[in-house]
């Protein structure tokens, strides 16, 4: 079954690990499946992580992201809130790459993929054509995961040693690990820990991630801000701004509003 049967609202989601050696470039397999009981489309909004995805998507009505589905698609890094108008029912199975993982796998920059969703053939070649049919024919997500892993494993095999020897990719991975830690609020701190210059990080992140290292750092701090507000920690917005490395409350408000669409005070109030 491609998506849940008609009835009440259903939204299913989950993750599964990916095996070695694919774990060199891919973080995990994930899926979502949904159906609206009242037969109305709806809008989903997510403050996404700075990574790329290979997805296999199907939906009632045959269109997602303005592209025909079922299809295998590649999602580049999203610099804004990821917004998608979902039809009544559908299913998405995907692999999230490590930051820089897709660039390492392909041996090229992924900067051209930022803020885009494109047919996977444009990125991974013609061999990806049958993948959507193969994945969606499976009955459970473990089997779907295995089908995606098998395909990506074939892509990775001839480049595996190059990926393992790619020092630029390793530097990006290590930098992002540091950026995820809330105590790192300035790019200089990250560069110092890695014994590289900020200019080197800039060059590597543009190639491997598709955004500047400062943007990635700020995205993680904005995610921390959202998480703090969701759990009721952000009553003192000035203190929250300081803890996240923003110069003051106004700088946090400006950055938060630019990405989320409302000031943190409105978000906290549920508006």
Domain annotation covers residue 4: no
CA 239 – CA 267 distance, rounded (Å): 17
Phi-psi region of 254 (alpha: psi -120 to 50; beta: other; left: phi over 0): alpha
Residue 1 pLDDT class (50, 70, 90 cuts):
low
Co-location of 154 and 172 in the same domain: no
Decide which of 119, 135, 161 is a domain's last residue. 161
pLDDT digits (tens, 9 = 90+) for 120-136: 999 999 889 899 999 99
Of 8-22, 33-47, 115-129, 233-247, where does mean pLDDT reach its minimum? 33-47
Task: Out of 26-30, 43-47, 70-74, 84-88, pick the least confident.
Answer: 43-47
Whether 61 and 102 map to the same domain: the answer is yes
Task: Identify whether 5 is part of a domain.
Answer: no
Strand partners, 58: 91
Strands 26-35 and 10-16: antiparallel
Q: How many domains does the chain have?
A: 2
Q: Which residue has the higher pLDDT, 37 or 59?
A: 59
Same domain, 188 and 207: yes
- The residue length of the chain stands at 271
171 shares its domain with 157: no
Q: Is the pLDDT of residue 48 over 90?
A: no
DSSP 139: S
Q: What is the pLDDT averaged over residues 37-59?
A: 85
Across 4-20, average pLDDT: 85
Give burial (CB, 10 Å; 0-12/13-18/19+) of 31: buried
The residue among 161, 181, 206 that closes a domain is 161
Q: Tell me the mean pLDDT in the region 59-69.
A: 92
Q: Which residue, among 16, 43, 45, 41, has the nearest Cα to 28 in the 3D structure? A: 16
Q: Please give the full DSSP string across 2-31, using - where no structure is assigned.
A: -SPPSSS-EEEEEEE---TTGGGTEEEEEE
Q: Are residues 221 and 240 in the same domain?
A: yes
* Model confidence band, residue 3 (pLDDT cutoffs 50, 70, 90): low
Whether residues 190 and 125 share a domain: the answer is no
Of 1 and 118, which is predicted with more confidence?
Answer: 118
For residue 240, give both structure tokens.
């929250």
Parallel/antiparallel/unpaired status of strands 63-64 and 82-86: unpaired
- The predicted pLDDT at position 110 comes to 97
pLDDT digits (tens, 9 = 90+) for 143-177: 999 999 999 999 999 999 999 999 999 999 999 99
Residues 19 and 148 in one domain: yes
C-alpha distances in Å from residue 40, one per residue of 10, 33, 62, 85, 89: 13, 15, 15, 11, 9
Q: What is the pLDDT of residue 5?
A: 67
Percent of the chain with pLDDT over 90: 60
* Domain hosting residue 187, numbered range: 167-268
The Cα 135–Cα 72 span in angstroms is: 10
Pick the closest to residue 159 from 146, 169, 173 (CA basis): 169
Residue 17 lies in a domain: yes
Element (H, E) at 119: strand 117-119
Which of 121, 143, 161 represents a domain boundary (last residue)? 161
């Amino acid at each position: 079954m491609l998506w849940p049967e008609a009835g009440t609202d259903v939204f299913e989601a989950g993750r599964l690990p990916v095996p070695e050696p694919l774990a060199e470039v891919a973080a995990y397999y994930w899926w979502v499946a949904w159906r609206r009981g009242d037969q109305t489309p709806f809008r989903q909004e997510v403050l996404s992580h700075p990574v790329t995805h290979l997805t296999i998507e199907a939906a009632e009505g045959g269109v997602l992201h303005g592209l025909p589905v079922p299809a295998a698609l590649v999602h580049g890094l999203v610099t804004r809130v990821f917004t998608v108008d979902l039809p009544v029912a559908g299913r998405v199975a995907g692999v999230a790459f490590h930051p820089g993982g897709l660039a390492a796998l392909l041996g090229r920059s992924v900067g051209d993929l930022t803020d885009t969703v494109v047919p996977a053939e444009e990125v991974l070649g013609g061999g990806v054509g049958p993948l959507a049919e193969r994945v969606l024919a499976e009955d459970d997500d473990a089997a779907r995961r295995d089908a995606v892993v098998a395909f990506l494993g074939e892509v990775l095999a001839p480049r595996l040693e190059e990926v393992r020897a790619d020092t630029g990719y390793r530097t990006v991975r290590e930098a992002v690990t540091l950026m995820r830690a809330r105590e790192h609020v300035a790019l200089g701190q990250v560069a110092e820990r890695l014994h590289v210059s900020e200019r080197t990080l800039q060059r590597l992140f543009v190639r491997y991630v598709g955004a500047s290292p400062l943007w990635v750092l700020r995205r993680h701090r904005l995610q921390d801000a959202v998480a703090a507000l969701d759990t009721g920690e952000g009553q003192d917005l000035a203190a929250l701004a300081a803890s996240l490395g923003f110069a003051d409350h106004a700088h946090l408000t400006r950055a938060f509003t630019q990405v989320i669409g409302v000031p943190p005070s409105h978000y906290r109030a549920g508006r």
